[in-house]
Structure 1
Amino acid sequence: MTNEKEERAFLEAQLQWVKQRDALLAQIEKKLYEMKHIAELVAIEDAYMLKNQKLKLNERFLQLQNEIAELENKLQIFYN
C-alpha cells in the first residue's frame, strides 16, 4: 500500500513539473512570435520607418530577448 502511495505522489510531482515547464515554454513561444513579428515588420517596412520607430522596435526586441533568457534560466532550475 505504501508503494502505491509513494508512486502516486511521485507521479503527481512529475505531472506538476511537466505543467510548470509547459507553461514556461508557452511563455517563451509567445515572446518568440512577437520577436518574429518585429523582425518581419522591420524587414518589410525598413525603408519607410522613422529612426525613432526602429529604436522603439529594437528596444522591445532586446527586452523580449532578456525576458526569454530569464525564462530559460527558470527552465534550467527544473533540470537540476
Structure 2
Amino acid sequence: MNNEEERAFLEAQLQWIKQRDAVLAQIEKKLYEMKHIAEQVAADETALLESQKHRLNERFLQLKDEVAELENQLRIFYN
C-alpha cells in the first residue's frame, strides 16, 4: 500500500468513526431523556394525572423505538 492509498484508507476510517460518533451522541441524548422521564415518574408518581403518565409513557416508548433504530444504524456502519 502506497502513501496515497494509506491516506485514503485512513480518511475513510475517520469518516466512519465520525458517523458512528454522531449516532452514539444521538443515542446518548435520547437515553438521557428517557432517564429524565423515568426519574420524573418515580418522583411524582402520585402527583401525576393519568393523562400525564400516559403522555410520558408514550414519549418513553417513542424514544425506545428511536434508540433501537439508531442501534440498527450502528450495525450497518459496522458491517
**Range into which the TM-score falls when normalised by the shorter chain:** over 0.9
CA RMSD of aligned residues (A): 0.8
Q: Give the percent of matched residue pairs that are identical in Structure 1 and Structure 2.
A: 73
The TM-score, its normalising length taken from structure 2, stands at: 0.98
1:47 corresponding residue in structure 2: 46
Any unmatched runs of 5+ in structure 2?
none
> More helix per residue: 1 or 2?
1
How does the TM-score come out when normalised to structure 1? 0.97
2:78 paired with 1:79: yes
Deviation at 1:38, TM superposition (A): 0.1
What is the total number of aligned residue pairs between the two structures? Answer: 79
Secondary structure in structure 1 of the residue aligned to 2:2: helix
1:76: Cα distance to partner? 0.1
Can you list the C-alpha shifts for 1:8-37, whole angstroms capped at 9, x where unaligned? 000000000000000000000000000000
